[in-house]
Amino acid sequence: KLMFLAHTKDAQVATLEKTVVTQKEFSVTPNYPRFLREGDELVFKSKLSNLTTQQLNGFAKLQILDAFTNEDISSQFNLKDIQKSFVLNANGSTTVQWNVKVPNGVSSIIIKNVATSTSLSGQGKFSDGEQKAIAVLPNRMLVTDAVPVFVKEGQTKTFVLENLKN
């Protein structure tokens, strides 16, 4: 609900009330992970929503870019079909998904998800997309083992760090 109030210097007043809808007729809602680890395998899903009264068909595209150079590195993530087709019923939603395998040696990426569609009657063309930077964490682990060491003057002792040994 949007309300307007106007007044003049001589105290005349006018009001106006309108109802406003702020939504896209076609939208893409990707389900991004918070972070990734080297070697992860995941199914990246994205929801497509149609708020029109027409059936829509089109293509959804997933790209993975290097966050530092903006270079397309989708092939390193084992993405076979970057582009997926969809049919979306009137006032309905559907999901599209891609299988992704995170390679070693990548530290930060941008996941870009874009979809374009047209109505079957050809009257409406729609597009939407999102992108987000995601950190890729290495699989290396810092191992810390603390052992109290008590050695008297002139004494020699041997210590074994069992956690590191095993």
Q: Between 80 and 44, where is the model more confident?
A: 44
Question: How far is it, in rounded angstroms, from Cα 83 to Cα 77?
Answer: 14
Residue 26 has pLDDT above 80, yes or no: yes
pLDDT in tens, 1-16: 999 999 999 999 999 9
Mean pLDDT of 112-125: 85
Residue 21 has pLDDT above 90, yes or no: no
Query: Are the CB atoms for 115 and 62 separated by under 8 Å?
Result: no
Q: Which residues contact 38 (CB under 8 A, 6 or more apart)?
A: 102, 103, 104, 105, 106, 136, 137, 138, 139
Q: The whole model's pTM is what?
A: 0.71
Mean pLDDT of 28-42: 94
Residue 143 has pLDDT above 70, yes or no: no
pLDDT in tens, 59-96: 999 999 999 999 999 999 999 889 999 999 999 999 99
